[in-house]
């Protein structure tokens, strides 16, 4: 873990004398905390630890930190926000994702790296320069696209017009001022144009629901109309998903959120079944190479105004993803995308 942190901090361009603040909470992994502090100190940074008290997410049905988005321990805490904004790098071992406070800190020029998976997962997926190149090439291609189409043999046929929102690359380190990233990761994503996603998504056994952290066992069929899921049909898995989303009593929970595909060869589809649900965020599921990952819920991370507390991520296997008619993933196999290239190569 010490070597892993040193690698990630070096890739994040940490310089001697810069300030690193390790943000922690009640659920932060003690080994991750101690090794982050030690590694940053060994690299001659000015190191702080900011430990915040947990808050009650009144609509939360799970302890998963991505299951309920809204109030965070930073909400209204101006002293904490000031300390983080004055840092060069914030190591987020607590999870601030989708919070307005996170956006404020990033605007100050501070870099934020989220790292909350178990230590052995972090070590297995230590990011690299090669990861960055692969993900940025995919994001560059995504940024040029005007239409994403997704199909699979189960009956998925989804059309997502693009261009309103930026393409995002997540490769596991923060090498630019104001950058946020997540270690581990490895995928390219964007958000479709508001109100324009149309079609059908058919989830097959083996596709994954997050934050439920479960492999679905029975088909789920979602109909997307004008950017919203207007029906969720199927067997028990569909009932569980539908009831969970309905509990938030928020129509914006059903809006299409981010879309993209996994690019991390060291992430594995099968790993989720090896962990207790409260032990992991499920980043293997989100990042495994060749998945199609779509989300329902908020878009404020992209600069939109939708801030619903309900956040659903669904990684799918065996999909074909095309951008303006050009395949970038074929039946779950990624086409290599060269930086600046207009073409893909099998």
Q: How does 171-204 read in b/e, with b if 16+ C-beta sit within 10 Å?
A: bbbbeeeebbbbbbbbbbbbbbbbebbbbbbbbb
Q: What percent of the chain has pLDDT over 90?
A: 81
Which pTM was predicted? Answer: 0.92
Residue 159 has pLDDT above 60, yes or no: yes
In the structure encoding, which two tokens stand for residue 331, read together?
A: 């039946």
User: Cα separation of 236 and 216, whole Å?
Assistant: 9
Q: Which CATH number fits domain 2-116: 3.40.120.10, 3.40.50.620, 3.40.50.150, 3.40.50.2300?
A: 3.40.50.2300
Residue 346 has pLDDT above 50, yes or no: no
CATH 3.40.50.2300 segments of the chain: 2-116
User: Cα separation of 167 and 227, whole Å?
Assistant: 18
In the structure encoding, which two tokens stand for residue 117, read together?
A: 């998976």
Q: What percent of the chain has pLDDT over 70?
A: 93
pLDDT digits (tens, 9 = 90+) for 146-158: 999 999 999 999 9
Res 148: pLDDT: 98
Res 343: pLDDT: 41
Please give the residue that has the higher pLDDT: either 216 or 276: 216
Task: Tell me which residue has tokens 């028990």.
Answer: 236
pLDDT digits (tens, 9 = 90+) for 60-97: 676 666 666 667 788 889 999 999 999 999 999 998 87
When mean pLDDT is compared across 88-97, 244-253, 297-306, the lowest value belongs to 297-306
| Dihedral pair phi/psi, residue 262, rounded to 5° | -80, 145
User: Cα separation of 195 and 206, whole Å?
Assistant: 29
């Amino acid at each position: 873990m010490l070597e892993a942190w040193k690698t990630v901090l070096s890739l994040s361009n940490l310089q001697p004398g810069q300030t690193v603040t390790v943000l922690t909470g009640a659920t932060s992994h003690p080994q991750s905390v101690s090794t982050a502090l030690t590694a940053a100190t060994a690299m001659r940074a000015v190191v702080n630890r900011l430990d915040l008290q947990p808050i009650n997410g009144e609509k939360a049905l799970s302890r998963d930190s991505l299951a309920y988005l809204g109030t965070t321990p930073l909400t209204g805490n101006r002293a904490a926000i000031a300390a983080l904004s004055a840092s060069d790098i914030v190591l987020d071992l607590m999870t601030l994702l989708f919070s307005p406070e996170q956006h404020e800190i990033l605007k100050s020029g501070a870099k934020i790296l989220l790292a909350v998976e178990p230590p052995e997962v972090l070590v297995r997926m230590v990011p690299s320069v090669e990861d960055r190149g692969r993900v940025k090439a995919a994001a560059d291609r995504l940024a040029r696209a005007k239409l994403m189409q997704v199909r699979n043999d189960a009956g998925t046929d989804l059309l997502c017009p693009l261009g309103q929102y930026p393409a995002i690359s997540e490769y596991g380190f923060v090498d630019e001022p104001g950058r946020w990233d997540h270690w581990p990761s490895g995928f390219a994503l964007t958000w479709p144009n508001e109100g324009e996603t149309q079609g059908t998504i058919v989830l097959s056994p083996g596709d994954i629901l997050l934050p439920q952290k479960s492999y679905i066992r029975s088909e789920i069929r979602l109909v997307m109309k004008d950017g919203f899921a207007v029906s969720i049909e199927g067997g028990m898995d569909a009932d569980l998903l539908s009831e969970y989303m309905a509990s938030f009593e928020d129509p914006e929970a059903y809006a299409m959120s981010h879309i993209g595909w996994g690019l991390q060869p060291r992430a594995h589809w099968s790993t989720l079944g090896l962990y207790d649900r409260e032990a992991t965020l499920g980043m293997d599921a989100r990042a495994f190479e060749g998945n199609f990952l779509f989300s329902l819920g908020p878009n404020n991370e992209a600069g939109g105004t939708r801030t619903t507390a309900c956040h659903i991520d669904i990684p799918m296997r065996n999909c074909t993803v095309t951008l303006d008619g050009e395949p970038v993933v074929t039946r779950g196999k990624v086409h290599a995308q060269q930086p600046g290239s207009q073409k893909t190569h099998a």
